[in-house]
Every structure is written in C-alpha cells, then in structure tokens.
Amino acid sequence: MDQILSAIVLGIIEGLTEFLPVSSTGHLILAGHLMRFTGEKAASFEVIIQLGAILAVAVMYRDRFLGLLRANPYQRFSGLRGIVLLGLTCIPAALVGFLTHKAIKTYLFGPTTVALALAVGAVAILVVEAMRRRVRFETLDDISPALALGIGVFQCLSLWPGFSRSAATIMGGMLLGAKRSLAAEYSFIAAVPIMCLATAYDFYKSYHLFEAGDLLVLAVGFVVSFFSAWAAVKGFILLLGRTTLRPFAWYRLALAVAVFFFWPA
C-alpha cells in the first residue's frame, strides 16, 4: 500500500481509538499487519503519530493545562498541585515502561498477544461495570494524591499492547471511587504527559531509522490523527452521558475472537 495512504489509514485509526477503551496500539498493530506495514520502523511510526492525538487533547483542555502554570484559588487541580498529581499518575508507567521497553516491542507487538489483551481488558471492563461502587470523586478538583497514584498504577496495564491505556486508567479511576465521567476526563488529561514522554523516548531510540523522505509520511499521520482524535473525544464524552463502557467491552471481545479464529496465517 502507498505510504501516504497507509499514513492516512493509520492516522485515522490512531485518532479514533487513542482515547477510547479499545487500545489504539492494538488496532495499529493489527492494521499494520494487514497492510504489511510492520517492523521496528513501523512500530516507531505508530508511536510517533500518537503526538497528533495528544495535541488534540492538549488543545481541547488548554485551559486546564495553562492552569498548571499558575495556581487558581478556585481550582484545586491547578498550579504545582496539579503538576504533582499528574506526576504521580505518570511515574509508575514511565518507570515500568523504561525498564521493559525492549521486551514489550520484542514479544508483545503481535496479533495473538494483542487479541489476548483485548479479551482480558474486555472482561475487566464488564466486571468493573457490574460492581457496586461508591463515588467519592466527581470533578477534577476532587482528585487526591492517592487517587492520582492509584490510577497511575493501573495505567501500567496499558504497557501490554491491546489492553488500552484509556481502559486501564478509566477502570482504575472507577474502582478507586471516581465518577465514570471524571475517570474518562482525567484519563484524557493524564495521557498527555505520559505519552509525550513515551513518544520522545521512542523517537530518541529509533530516530536513526527515519530518512528525510519519511517526514511527509509522519506529518500526514500526525495531522490525520489530530482531527480524528478531536472527533473521537467529543463523541466519547457525549456517549458516556448516556451509556456505560459495556459496548466497548463487547466490541473488544468480538475483535479478539475475530483475530483468534480468522486472522490470516
């Protein structure tokens, strides 16, 4: 497939799935195998275009991010306190990811491991949604250091491609007492620093794989993922006001079954 067309397809997939509890990395791995766009360079491309999706959230929540630069007496999630909370959420996955980066890319970037992660994550979503939970945190300003760190620990599950960073953090937040909509909103915001770190580290390790001619392909994937993510986040927020995460769990299970039984050998 033409590289530009591949970048457009992968950019759409990345943007639409990055902030939904279905795993963007898992979808990109599956799509890459179908398009024969695989290998170390392809894996790095898929990580780098995530910056487009991240920028979309940074723009959408720009007031909250700008608020981190200066404390707002009317918003507890601002200034140094907000930065510390995000740091607590980022540290566990950043540390584990740094220590296991090579092993993850070597052993977990394949259709079978992705399908297994999709299935495990789907079952986890259904279990969490079936549990009776006491809501103790309803807005960003209610987030405590313990909640931020706890969500960060759950975020480590997302290092398994196919599990989904969004699913891990949203479920973690819900289990720890956050309202579903708050868990989703904080998942969007917390994605920005951790994924910027992950992308920067990945690019540092693999920039030598890219040539000048690859810049256009990267730019196309970046722009497409930006606009796709913008639409996906807007739609997800509206959807959460009407339903639970169960539809995403059933979708994950269906996709996992399709990969297990119908994936081309």
> Distance between CA 26 and CA 59 in Å, rounded?
25
212-227 mean pLDDT: 86
> Distance between CA 16 and CA 20 in Å, rounded?
7
One-letter amino acid of 80 = L
What integer best gives the mean pLDDT of the chain? 89
pLDDT higher than 90, residue 109: no
DSSP reduced 3-state for 198: helix
Q: Where are the domains of the chain?
A: 3-262
128-138 mean pLDDT: 93
> Distance between CA 77 and CA 140 in Å, rounded?
6
> What per-residue string of b and e applies to 188-211 under the rule 16 or more CB within 10 Å gives b?
bbbbbbbbbebbeebbeebeeebe
Residue 185 has what pLDDT?
A: 94
- What's the distance, Cα to Cα, between the start and end of the chain in Å? 19
| Global model pTM greater than 0.85 | yes
Residue 233 has what pLDDT?
A: 93
20-27 mean pLDDT: 89
High-pLDDT (> 90) share of the chain, %: 57
- Residue-wise pLDDT tens digits, 65-105: 999 998 888 899 999 999 999 999 999 998 998 888 788 87
- In the block, tokens 């969007």 appear at 188
Q: Is residue 15 exposed (0-12), middle (13-18) or buried (19+ Cβ within 10 Å)? A: buried
Proportion of the chain in helix, strand, coil states, percent, rounded to 5: 80, 0, 20
CB atoms within 10 A of CB 146: 11
Measure the CA angle with vertex 232, ends 168 and 240; round to 5°. 60
pLDDT higher than 60, residue 1: no
194-211 mean pLDDT: 77
- Residue-wise pLDDT tens digits, 148-175: 999 999 999 999 989 999 999 999 999 9
pLDDT higher than 90, residue 49: no
pLDDT higher than 60, residue 202: yes
> Distance between CA 75 and CA 65 in Å, rounded?
12
> Distance between CA 115 and CA 77 in Å, rounded?
37
Residue 183 has what pLDDT?
A: 95
Better-scored residue on pLDDT, 40 or 222:
222
Residue 137 has what pLDDT?
A: 96
171-190 mean pLDDT: 95
Tokens of 6: 């591949």
DSSP reduced 3-state for 107: helix
CB atoms within 10 A of CB 48: 21
> Distance between CA 30 and CA 63 in Å, rounded?
36
One-letter amino acid of 163 = F
Residue 224 has what pLDDT?
A: 95
Close Cβ partners of 4 (under 8 Å, ≥ 6 residues apart):
216, 217, 220
